[in-house]
Structure 1
């Protein structure tokens, strides 16, 4: 039936509830009876509610029989008008979830003896076909799929289909849609079609890594695959590509290390790459014409092609990404993957929406797609098959690519149960996998007590969250460019700073615990989002000279590295990275986003200082206490005049941490003599800079200091 032939509309909104909309222009919207026909059998509907909505009369009707999703139904009214029954809000009911939940591990493409099997979960479809096309051919063949239990469609093709391109044709609500397999692991250039590959051809041995005992032992370094290497003087051959990011022994203009070698030399433990699943925003066949961070997900289980040497070769991106990960592992470093399961690039054209329209996304009370993400759609992770998809995807990346951690973009959109199950899967498959996310409380139609947000941290004790309180009180608000934090000399933030430096666990009597344990707090003052800290300092202190800005910058970074919790650095932060004032560079030019390796050389002293602080953190366990109880037992706050902060670590290390954010020298009287200075305003490391013979210590302006008891 063509849409133009419909007299009215009818939707299945619950397993036995049908909503009918009669336009007022059609018999004034009035009908005293409706019936439903299927397989030449007519069943009356019971009208249980009627009311006018705008230019329609809305009827809520009840269907006494059991609805079969395998069949097509017509709804008829007393006037002889008719319409096909469309799948409506029923897909967002718990009954639908229970009826069609499929727990198999074989969705997508699997291989059997002499066969290639395809499975697609599409419970609302009445027909499904697979479209197959050999590589480099315009000829397509269509194979009908058979409906099986739990809404899964399946077919086995008895021949070798390696390199074949494929998609699914799905008939839902009398409309055919073509969709790429949501479980596709390989795609053509720009993700236009799925490609059948044999991943076992790309398997490799897992590279052993040094022990990793606790999340607070991590030092995370966030970067972007293109940014890391694209600079003209990066010393990298394969600039902007997976292979380039994995090159060892690259050198800059001064002969010093760049790229991956530089990151290893810096001393961090984990590299967090911005998204490298397949995303929109860059034409993979003309990658130098566009730039994108990668938060426009297209295909969650296939690597992005713009970082590959040949985006048209389906194996190239897979093999080259695995080579990058292996190269990182060979240096004893771990890889954190930035994952974007909270939304898709465009809901209407996504595989999710085409395969099961309306199921994968949240809708508000008006029935419209919600937009807590700000990009037009929110993934409904609380639904069983959405949760399954996310967990299956995490398992895939762990097993197939040997990923060591996941950073969840806008994690607050997702639900707690999904995150808890992800934690269990990671612990089972790869103990030590670090999970961190953005726990912002966003406006999505999910009960607050189910959101994976900071406010619910107690329900996710083994998942870390970005500590925006740390960021804003140490650096100043990210949403007010001119707001100065504690490290920039604003002593109004002193109590907040005291709390976050000690792990945000309610260390002070006045402090409110943001987290139960320090392993939950990701401490940062800069990331890919918003202005770099250097650009913020230029705005905050327009009349200051660079030497003062550098001191503030160094102090803020030092506080990140020596606070309780998990330190997080933005790549280039250690040499005053600038984006030329661009506060949202997600699609800006390479000139804005690239890591400037010449700037690294110019500020080599700063880099050495940050390296020294990293050494101090790794050498002395007092800076990475595992529990809130340890922090309360072993840290004693020193009584110092504002705005100084000082801490005595009275465990085996015997260390004092002193912080002076003011532009004046400050005198501190120590209770005992004989201290070795490890960190001062100019130098940092695990070797003694000088000894203190007396009890008096002059702390230089805007500095962080570490003393070791001898």
Structure 2
């Protein structure tokens, strides 16, 4: 309180009321913000809002501007830029740009007769400032050791720098709206915040917000202050960092990716849940990652490791559940209840709640107070590289932890109403779960690009996975690609062209169907070399969908028709038809989800991939291998083991569960294009049936590297928050000791999966570069109405792959191959799985015989 009062006096402001904002005179805000000021000439006005015969005016603190109706509404160019406003009326703003800049530094409302509404201003801010601001270097930058701090705050009345307990004035550049201050070498390492005096609609008046730097490069603990930090400082580089040699870059179409949460990875020791866990080459987790890398895994995808909002960063402040969780019954409600009691204060969260996009998360550092987290993040990247793995970061630019005047709101307290995407009434969009951002606005788009480039240059990150990428404009993601491609080893220390990009191309929410811009969705990203997750084969393999009320719905790898459970799933004929359609979806997936790939479907028709139905949409959408990323499980929804626990008959023996798990993983690993697997899945990882473990703590999330401890199954009923409706299905499963996989099934599954990785990454036919090459080399010779339900046979160059998901051995006869010599692939013939070694081939008839619940690869020659 005393420090706030001192700062207020120093810059001539009223005393603060509380928190990190200084309140000034307020006026009652209008209801909503329905008018939109889209450029310096135009207000877009909703039809039917107010009486059109009354004069329209734009009110600001210094007076008002008249608004003149524009016949015909928005221009074609404006409708293209703002498609969701195409039906609005247009009014011309009668003011000069300089007058508008002044007006935008206070409250702006619009009136028409007795109607008053707030005004959304991102469009006009971009029009007036973005061209100049886009060239600015924001955040801390250094020249000859002297730092400059720069902040984009065009609507601020004043910005001052609170540096190490004193106040420093900042200079405003009127063309760009950037405020800056240059200091001495003595500023380096000092904590700072900005005091931004700005009109905030959420507060109904002018406030002075004390905020950290959105372009921070380092932070004090719990993100209380930014630190003046030069990431090029040699003191932040661990030994060997400058000359770090990465494993050879793998093209995206060949990438085999392990998705991993940093805290899940480590179990015990001073580095528990932290960056340094990846520096111990002797730990069980690192030994396993090293073995996966030797088999062909090329990337580790880290769940969010930037600064996020929901975990106390000092270990002394982190709570632990006050219960003897291990002593409770496997189907008890008490574990989840106890974990829930400390969830808001424990050390665990997935981290999809960004606070500062370009600083490593402090809770993973041994000391979160300062730039040491930078050094430890770099040591993690080194550790992965030493194990033969490149590093991917999961980035979450589509939303922030909070908006408005919330203490966890950084961007919106600097330029209120700009960085967040607003709905037509002026409220913040929340379809992503949280306060949505607007990368379609120039400076939010710039923040995305600048942040990614920093991670690539300064942390040698080799790839980025964009959370909810469909909420980004396609143009924004392509701008990221362009900026990365400009990075060179000589100039920047990294080859940006080798950095891979992929993301969630889901199409939903306020941006759906390209309603606001051309989105970075599955169909729109085809042909860009940026991959999107494919849910088509995923659902066909697992069965049902991720949001089914009954989790027992079966699919190709979970026993549909061939090994039915007790769920009502239709007649045998209906199940057969659904299973064969699932096999069509799987075939499209095996091609890399190519839209133009032509094959014979289960009805005997010649179809293209985009002619196969997936819930009313085309199954195939990719233009080339690498456009679609295959996976059978990820951090979202139940782990593969847990999904199969729900779906396979409860009496299925553990060894057979392991075989079905490997077969499901094989459908992704042996497809064209990249594939991803959740860390631990090859070891039958369970989260005790939790479908959304983002805040379920270590108890439900930890990877159990020692199979003697089990695989995580039976650690209690999963948290009621997202799972209670499934508890009636979960209880009998969790209480069944036979579903706790022991060392035998765990090691068998892991070894068999590594064999498949070796085949995938050594046989060039799995990494074809073009759609034409896939069409020429890959076929499904037994497709059609008589195809074996539960078995898919794929011919790929000199290979034949048979996926037998049934509980019986299957003969697959390809008459055209009679007389051609085939044998089980050498990797499997000498590999970890004894069952697959019984696979056989009869050259006289061209018949491939494959054991139950087995994927077998045969090679000619």
Q: Give the TM interval when normalised to the shorter protein.
A: 0.7 to 0.9
Q: CA deviation at 1:382?
A: 1.1
Q: CA deviation at 1:9?
A: 9.7
Q: Distance in 1 between matches of 2:30 and 2:666?
A: 67
Q: Quote the residue 1:485 is aligned against.
A: 555
Q: Quote the residue 1:417 is aligned against.
A: 475
Q: Quote the residue 2:427 is aligned against.
A: 368
Aligned Cα root-mean-square deviation (Å): 3.5
Q: Quote the residue 1:301 is aligned against.
A: 358
Give 1:55-70 correspondences, 5 Å limit.
Answer: 62-66=93-97, 67-70=99-102
Q: CA deviation at 1:276?
A: 0.3
Q: Distance in 2 between matches of 1:531 and 1:164?
A: 45
Whether the 8 Å contact between 1:117 and 1:157 is mirrored in structure 2 is: yes
Q: CA deviation at 1:61?
A: 9.2
Q: Distance in 2 between matches of 1:276 and 1:106?
A: 24
Whether the 8 Å contact between 1:247 and 1:259 is mirrored in structure 2 is: no
Q: Quote the residue 2:688 is aligned against.
A: 580
Q: CA deviation at 1:488?
A: 2.0
Q: CA deviation at 1:487?
A: 1.8
Q: Quote the residue 1:431 is aligned against.
A: 497
Q: Quote the residue 1:54 is aligned against.
A: none
Whether the 8 Å contact between 2:759 and 2:827 is mirrored in structure 1 is: no
Give 1:388-399 correspondences, 5 Å limit.
Answer: 388-399=446-457
Whether the 8 Å contact between 1:637 and 1:646 is mirrored in structure 2 is: yes
Aligned residue for 2:121, secondary structure, equals helix
Q: Distance in 2 between matches of 1:296 and 1:36?
A: 36
* Structure number with higher relative contact order (C-alpha < 8 Å, ≥ 6 residues apart): 2
Q: Quote the residue 1:96 is aligned against.
A: 127
Q: Quote the residue 2:175 is aligned against.
A: 149
Whether the 8 Å contact between 2:154 and 2:178 is mirrored in structure 1 is: yes
Whether the 8 Å contact between 1:190 and 1:305 is mirrored in structure 2 is: yes
Q: Quote the residue 2:756 is aligned against.
A: 613
Q: Quote the residue 1:25 is aligned against.
A: none
Q: Distance in 2 between matches of 1:613 and 1:74?
A: 63
Q: Distance in 2 between matches of 1:144 and 1:655?
A: 67
Q: Distance in 2 between matches of 1:18 and 1:570?
A: 48
Q: Quote the residue 2:78 is aligned against.
A: none
Partner residue of 2:253 out of 216, 219, 223: 216
Q: Quote the residue 2:766 is aligned against.
A: 623
Q: Quote the residue 2:804 is aligned against.
A: 660
Whether the 8 Å contact between 1:678 and 1:685 is mirrored in structure 2 is: no
Change over 3 Å in CA distance of 1:107–1:37 after alignment to 2: closer
1:550 aligns with 2:658: yes
Aligned residue for 1:597, secondary structure, equals coil
Q: CA deviation at 1:287?
A: 4.0
Change over 3 Å in CA distance of 1:99–1:284 after alignment to 2: closer
Change over 3 Å in CA distance of 1:33–1:359 after alignment to 2: closer
Q: Distance in 1 between matches of 2:677 and 2:384?
A: 17
Structure 1, unpaired ranges of 5+:
21-29, 50-58, 79-84, 134-138
Change over 3 Å in CA distance of 1:625–1:34 after alignment to 2: closer
Whether the 8 Å contact between 1:168 and 1:179 is mirrored in structure 2 is: yes
Q: Quote the residue 1:52 is aligned against.
A: none
Partner residue of 1:669 out of 807, 813, 824: 813
Aligned residue for 2:271, secondary structure, equals coil
1:192 aligns with 2:251: no
Whether the 8 Å contact between 1:520 and 1:565 is mirrored in structure 2 is: yes
Partner residue of 2:634 out of 518, 521, 527: 527
CA deviation profile, 1:49-106 (whole Å, cap 9, x unmatched): 9xxxxxxxxx98954444242466799999xxxxxx9994123347636656513352
1:450 aligns with 2:518: yes
Aligned residue for 2:486, secondary structure, equals helix
1:207 aligns with 2:237: no
Q: Quote the residue 1:247 is aligned against.
A: 280
Q: CA deviation at 1:306?
A: 0.6
Whether the 8 Å contact between 1:169 and 1:179 is mirrored in structure 2 is: yes
1:315 aligns with 2:371: yes
Whether the 8 Å contact between 2:61 and 2:108 is mirrored in structure 1 is: no
Partner residue of 1:406 out of 428, 442, 464: 464
Q: TM-score, normalised by structure 1?
A: 0.86
Give 1:468-479 correspondences, 5 Å limit.
Answer: 468-476=535-543, 477-479=545-547
Change over 3 Å in CA distance of 1:132–1:538 after alignment to 2: same
Q: Report which stretch shifted further, 385-394 or 98-107.
A: 98-107
Q: Distance in 2 between matches of 1:645 and 1:488?
A: 14
Q: Report which stretch shifted further, 337-346 or 532-541.
A: 532-541
Q: Quote the residue 1:699 is aligned against.
A: 850
Q: Quote the residue 1:635 is aligned against.
A: 778
